Amino acid sequence: MLVAAVNMAPTEADRFADSAGSMETVARSMGEGAELEQQTIGNLTFEKVFRVNGLVYFQQGQGWLGDRVYGYVWSPRAQPREAEHVEGPWYRYTDLED
């Protein structure tokens, strides 16, 4: 029964699809340099959400050793470097922390 419950749990892609509209509303409302800490938007939780150079980053967390940050980035004009396209203006990113 536990296996069935795990198999029925929504995937990351499902949670993103259910959350993208709410995330876009947040992205459009944020001014340059704005930052939000610990936010749950739709079905996803983010450590922080911030806008830099017109891009809005939805940081989900850090890697196992705390050396890599990852999440989604909203970029309605162009694909950010080193980001993987998800759909529409949305991309997944994983960056080394400086």
Residue 4 in any domain: the answer is no
Residue 82 in any domain: the answer is yes
How do residues 20-59 score in pLDDT, each as one tens digit? 999 999 999 999 999 999 999 999 999 999 999 999 999 9
The number of distinct structural domains making up the chain is 1
For the entire predicted model, the pTM comes to 0.84
How do residues 60-84 score in pLDDT, each as one tens digit? 987 666 667 899 999 999 999 889 9
> How many C-beta atoms surround the C-beta of residue 35 within 10 A?
11
The DSSP code for 22 is: H
Q: Kindly state the tokens that stand for 71.
A: 């999440």
Residue 52 in any domain: the answer is yes
What CA–CA distances, in Å, run from 50 to 20, 72, 88? 16, 11, 19
Residue 5 in any domain: the answer is no
CA 16 – CA 33 distance, rounded (Å): 24
Residue 63: which domain range?
A: 10-96
- DSSP count for the chain of H helices, then E strands: 2, 6
